[in-house]
Structure 1
Amino acid sequence: MSNAFKRFNFDDKMLEAIEKIKFTHPTLIQERVIPKILKGENVVAQSETGSGKSHAFLLPLIYKVDVEKNHPQAVILAPTRELAKQLHKMTLDVLESYPEIRAAAFIGGTDVNKDEQKANRSPHIVIGTPSRVKGLMQSGALDLHLADKVVIDEADLMIDLGFLEPIDEIARALSDDVRLLVFSATIPEALRIFLKKYIGEVETIIIDTPKNKPSIHYNLVPVRGEEKQKKVLDIVQHITPYIGLIFANSRERADELFDHLNSAGVNVGLFHGGLKPRERTKEIKKIRALHYEWVVASDLAARGLDIDGASHVINYDIPKEIEFFTHRVGRVGRGEYEGNAITLYTPDEEHLINLIENKGYTFSHEDFKRGEFVEIKSRTQRASRKKKESSLESKLAHRVKRPGKVKPGYKKKMKNEMDTLKQNERKKYSMKNKKKR
């Protein structure tokens, strides 16, 4: 099964490990990144959710560990606790074939004393959030000065969450020949400055994946603003997902929608940054144990929570930053699974739909009626029809005469005359087309 990975000159042990995690062929980012890490090069890669980037750095990092050296050799930094835990689990899955390699996770919201004890055992691979790793390093519990590889995962989110300062301190404490492996969905200016400081000019590997994945059906559903909650409730009451995620743009919006669905008897969970660390951990366990059918979430879940086999995503709100749309819909249609990405939009969100379509996405224009999605005319066709209606009305306006004396009901009478004229014009147009055919 893992023969396709032989091109990287992995030994039989690594090939067996890859076979155990059921990988058959490397993804595009793995093709580009794995050889560079094995050669000991710096890497900057821009790729989106679901591209396989985690194993693009995990496999070569594990392969290059020297078990004779009893100190941390690779540091993997993640912006959220959930992502750090997820990366730790992925690492442990591969390490089932490498019991002699030690890996440990260090994240905020956990017992510092226990983390210090884990650090004293000198794990070969350190995985954690920047603030906790920095704290353990400064206290002397975690000695990182000999680590020669540092991964900065989801680097743009790191910057958004204000983690550039602790990352900077960690990087300055490492040896001069350390290799930086940076992965990001976008490369903002602050990240460019950081990269220039530590690694100078380096080629950015850009994995420009097709926007519409064949494994995902992209529904676009028009609604009036005040009807969004009603439409979502209708959808979730008629669809039974493996597990579905509903994204809102803020904690407040997520709370409101959760309350609405929960009060209607929907089996729904809630996940966002406003939850306390213990609550978040508890909710993640429930989500992964399929305790809920649906989970209302903020964009924290789009970047920091990986749910294997999620089948449906509903964009209750359209994100203001289009990159988050990609992260959201990337939760479904992964690996061997298929998925649905349902986007609700109101008239005042048309410009955001334009931005998404300009990025390369295409939608199926549908509405949800009587328990199923039904195809409707595209929004551009509907807009074109309105323009034609307006043009026809202007053309016929002179033929509807306003009465000399204004009497009660004159507006209704004029409207009826206009409707009759418009209907006659359509009939004429239809007859002409029939004759042409």
Structure 2
Amino acid sequence: MKGESVVGQSQTGTGKTHTFLLPIINKIRADKDSVQAVITAPSRELATQIHNEIKKLIKYSDDEIRSLLVIGGTDKQRTIDRLKKQQPHIVVGTPGRINDLIRETALLVHTTQVFVIDEADMTLDMGFLMDVDQIASKMPENLQMLVFSATIPQKLKPFLKKYMENPRYEHIQPQALANTDVKHQLIARRSKDKMDILKNALVAYQPYLAVVFTNTKAMADEVAKGLTERGLKVAKIHGGVEARERKRTMKQLENLEYQYVVATDLAARGIDIQGISHIINYELPSDLDFYIHRTGRTGRAGHSGIALTIYEPSDEDALNQLEKMNIEFKHVDLKNGEFVDADDRNRRQKREAKREAADPREIGMRKKSQRKRQTKLQKETQLQNE
């Protein structure tokens, strides 16, 4: 990073945090009492994680570098009083709280040299882009801006164009990052109760820690409720859960008080828990890149992991696309509380191939069904506004 603006698109867990933190810390002029770098993250958990990494790194600096974490749920007046006395060199926080402090003329960002927007798609989805826009407008024109995001939604592009002139784009293709230490399994729903399949799978796995992914907050609530009713102790993390409750849940996860977590894609980026042994896709994501993000949370640090997808016939096209992204699936079934190999999907694919060959209209009907599925999922996700 030689002072140029960068848009970095990569999945969670590719080590990007250290990639941008180290050059920033090296550029800090500790003899200047002014803000030189501002880093935003869309959740308190993510901001806290970044700040903790900065604290670890500046311990080894010869200079006395000051970093300040500003997030909701903390004493705002105390932060203002502290800023009136002395400005930090690095500010990390949520967009809303940073913007508040700028409006109060407590935080002075006109001296900023580097502005980092981490998890930009999540920032957009949680409604913080206006705050980020207002923060950026108070910064110098020759600002270096670094934007990191798992995906680059269309609605993010006008913002990038407004503040970034000819940025360098770095895109790590998800298919190149498919974790080879993860076994990808499929289980067909058929006519069974989906919640029962999920519960039985979790019990059969006996996981160290399993994360069940849904596409919306409403479905996360429904799944957590269904598993609780079936006798499992379940943690829940999504954008609708109060920040204080999320913080308590994270602490309980660190203390190994839960084996099972139900989460949405965006909220799960705040989960930085070691030892996730199993990922279960209760629903396949409409954006298949998120399949890579989800499953990349297990099989880390030399450990193996398992990713199970409960699938239905309408998911066939998505599964075929994932196979083209070098995901190798193994079909399994549950018999007497244990997993056994199955070849149902191969038989189904052969049947469908024969049927389509006999009736070309089948192809058109299937594509129409798939388009409806994707549109429905996208609408649900927008309505839930993670």
Residue in 2 aligned with 1:246? 212
Match of 1:76 among 34, 39, 49: 39
Q: Which has the larger radius of gyration?
A: 1
Q: How does 1:104-143 map to 2 (within 5 A)?
A: 104-120=68-84, 121-143=86-108
* Cα distance in 1 between the residues matched to 2:52 and 2:294: 22
Q: 1:348 to 1:112 in 2, by over 3 A?
A: same
Secondary structure at 1:366's aligned position in 2? strand
Residue in 2 aligned with 1:163? 128
- After TM superposition, which residue ranges in structure 1, 4 or more long, deviate above 6 angstroms? 386-392
Residue in 2 aligned with 1:190? 155
Instruction: Establish whether residue 173 from structure 1 lines up as the match of residue 143 from structure 2.
Output: no
Partners of 2:204 and 2:339 within 8 A in 1: no
Coordinate RMSD, CA, aligned: 2.4
Alpha-carbon shift at residue 118 of structure 1 (Å): 4.5
* Cα distance in 1 between the residues matched to 2:289 and 2:188: 22
Q: Which amino acid aligns with 2:214?
A: A
Higher RCO structure, 1 or 2 (CA under 8 Å, sep 6+): 2
Alpha-carbon shift at residue 137 of structure 1 (Å): 0.7
Alpha-carbon shift at residue 226 of structure 1 (Å): 4.9
Alpha-carbon shift at residue 76 of structure 1 (Å): 0.7
Alpha-carbon shift at residue 388 of structure 1 (Å): 6.2
Instruction: Establish whether residue 291 from structure 1 lines up as the match of residue 257 from structure 2.
Output: yes
Gaps of 5+ in 1: 1-35, 393-437
Alpha-carbon shift at residue 375 of structure 1 (Å): 2.2
Q: How does 1:224-235 map to 2 (within 5 A)?
A: 224=190, 226-235=192-201
Q: Which amino acid aligns with 1:205?
A: E
TM-score by structure 2 length? 0.84
Secondary structure at 1:318's aligned position in 2? coil
* Cα distance in 2 between the residues matched to 1:225 and 1:205: 44
Residue in 2 aligned with 1:45? 8
Secondary structure at 1:304's aligned position in 2? coil
Q: Which amino acid aligns with 1:381?
A: R
Match of 1:266 among 215, 232, 235: 232
Gaps of 5+ in 2: 359-386
* Cα distance in 2 between the residues matched to 1:276 and 1:53: 28
Partners of 1:148 and 1:175 within 8 A in 2: yes
Structure 1 window deviating more from structure 2 (172-181 vs 40-49): it is 40-49
CA deviation profile, 1:337-366 (whole Å, cap 9, x unmatched): 332111111223323323433444332222
Partners of 2:4 and 2:167 within 8 A in 1: no
Instruction: Establish whether residue 281 from structure 1 lines up as the match of residue 281 from structure 2.
Output: no
CA deviation profile, 1:254-306 (whole Å, cap 9, x unmatched): 22222222233323211122212211111111122221011111223333322
Partners of 2:5 and 2:168 within 8 A in 1: no
TM-score by structure 1 length? 0.75
Residue in 2 aligned with 1:420? none
* Cα distance in 1 between the residues matched to 2:323 and 2:356: 27
* Cα distance in 2 between the residues matched to 1:264 and 1:178: 54
Residue in 1 aligned with 2:48? 85
Partners of 2:178 and 2:292 within 8 A in 1: no
Q: How does 1:5-404 map to 2 (within 5 A)?
A: 36=1, 39-98=2-61, 100-120=64-84, 121-209=86-174, 210-224=176-190, 226-377=192-343, 379-385=345-351
CA deviation profile, 1:364-390 (whole Å, cap 9, x unmatched): 222233344322226243331476699
Alpha-carbon shift at residue 71 of structure 1 (Å): 1.7
Identity over aligned pairs, percent: 41
Q: 1:321 to 1:218 in 2, by over 3 A?
A: same
* Cα distance in 2 between the residues matched to 1:225 and 1:303: 33
Partners of 2:213 and 2:282 within 8 A in 1: yes
CA deviation profile, 1:205-237 (whole Å, cap 9, x unmatched): 122252431121111111136521111111211
The number of residues matched between the two structures is 355
Structure 1 window deviating more from structure 2 (360-369 vs 196-205): it is 360-369
Secondary structure at 2:241's aligned position in 1? coil
Alpha-carbon shift at residue 139 of structure 1 (Å): 0.4
Q: 1:390 to 1:179 in 2, by over 3 A?
A: closer
Q: Which amino acid aligns with 1:132?
A: R
CA deviation profile, 1:118-177 (whole Å, cap 9, x unmatched): 534422211111111111111011111111001011112222222222111111101122
